[in-house]
Amino acid sequence: MTSQKTFREELLERSRQVQEILYRYLPREEGYQSALAEAMNYSMTAGGKRLRPLLMLETYRLFGGKGRAVEPFMAAMEMIHTHSLIHDDLPALDNDEYRRGRKTTHVVYGEAMAILAGDALLNYAYETACRAFACGEDAANIGKALGILAEKTGIRGMLGGQAVDVQSAGSALSEDKLDFIYRLKTGALIEASMMIGAVLAGASAEETAVVEKVAGLTGLAFQIQDDILDLTGTQQEIGKPTGSDERNHKTTYVTLRGLEAAKKDVEELSARAAELLGSLPGENRFLEELIRELAFRRN
């Protein structure tokens, strides 16, 4: 895993393994409500990098986790992420017609079904995560992981960030507010992913707090890189239209700080994340490279 190529191959292989796990937890398309399951699965099978469940699994491995309870949580995390994409794309929010190169859910299934499919994926995340109780592992740890999942998804996490983002649309943002939106809207689920991996593997409260910081820095670097790519990438590379921030006069990290400073900040955040990760017991070289890759990705 020393060369970039070997890491890339490894990443592809592990993402494929993660996807196989996710697919085992998709709802069955049966009964009168089969169209709802179909709409849920349409977006769940639309590809994507599966980064959050991958981060969860690799953090679980970092702390020596060897059980199965992490698997339903990996699927749950991707369901929550997908829920947020479906609802973000709705006409009343971002009104996007394409995502990952495919038509968005509301374009294919209609607005009402897209709202319900998003709701149902959010709920199915919890239904799926609850299956971890049947794995015969520590119920208190699973309860703790559920609590983290819910807090980081909710009003003090992703949905809180999303609400502030929606409210701020069309007006200039302060650096403080933009930072708040990034930490919650993007960062919170990355924090939850890594924290849940740690907690399920039996990490201590102190170790879990360090993991939260690593994830927070990684998430921020990830989001700033997103802004950079929106400015410098092409639709073909990224799979969605670029330059949208500029067209929408949107305040981003790049408009506030400038492109060069933004690039430097990504480097610094990534370096701090790597340093903190190195301070933890255990070693996971793949996870270290993955966190670096997230900051410097090209798509």
Provide the minimum distance between the beta carbon of 216 and a second copy in the complex, in angstroms, as a whole number.
17
In angstroms, give the least distance from the CB of 150 to a second copy: 4
Asked whether position 220 contacts a second copy by CB under 8 A, the answer is no
Closer CB to a second copy, 50 or 106, in the complex: 106
**Which residue matches tokens 């996971």?**
284
Q: Which stretch binds a second copy (CB under 8 A): 150-158, 198-206, 218-226, 276-284?
A: 150-158
116: contact with a second copy by CB under 8 A = yes
The interface region with a second copy, picked from 50-58, 164-172, 204-212, 242-250 by CB under 8 A, is 164-172
**Least Å from the CB of residue 209 to a second copy:** 18
> Binding marks (x or -) toward a second copy, 46..85, rule CB under 8 A?
-------------------------------------x--
DSSP for the chain, please give it: --SHHHHHHHHHHHHHHHHHHHHHTSPP--STTHHHHHHHHHHHTS----HHHHHHHHHHHHTT--SSTHHHHHHHHHHHHHHHHHHHTSTTTT--SEETTEE-HHHHH-HHHHHHHHHHHHHHHHHHHGGGGGGTS-HHHHHHHHHHHHHHHSTTSHHHHHHHHHHHTTS---HHHHHHHIIIIIIHHHHHHHHHHHHHTT--HHHHHHHHHHHHHHHHHHHHHHHHHHHH--HHHHSS-SSHHHHTT---HHHHH-HHHHHHHHHHHHHHHHHHHHTSSS--HHHHHHHHHHHH---
Is residue 12 at the binding interface for a second copy, with CB under 8 A as the rule?
A: no
The residue from 36, 74, 190, 290 that contacts a second copy (CB under 8 A) is 36
Q: Per CB under 8 A, does 31 bind a second copy?
A: yes
> Does residue 120 bind a second copy (CB under 8 A)?
yes
Q: Which two tokens stand for residue 233?
A: 């990438």
By CB under 8 A, residue 130 contacts a second copy: yes
Give the nearer residue to a second copy in terms of CB position, either 57 or 192. Answer: 192
Judged by the rule CB under 8 A, the positions of this chain that interact with a second copy are 27, 31-33, 35-37, 40, 83, 87, 90, 92-93, 110-113, 115-116, 118-120, 122-124, 126-127, 130-131, 133, 139-140, 142-144, 146-147, 149-151, 153-156, 159-164, 166-167, 177, 180, 184
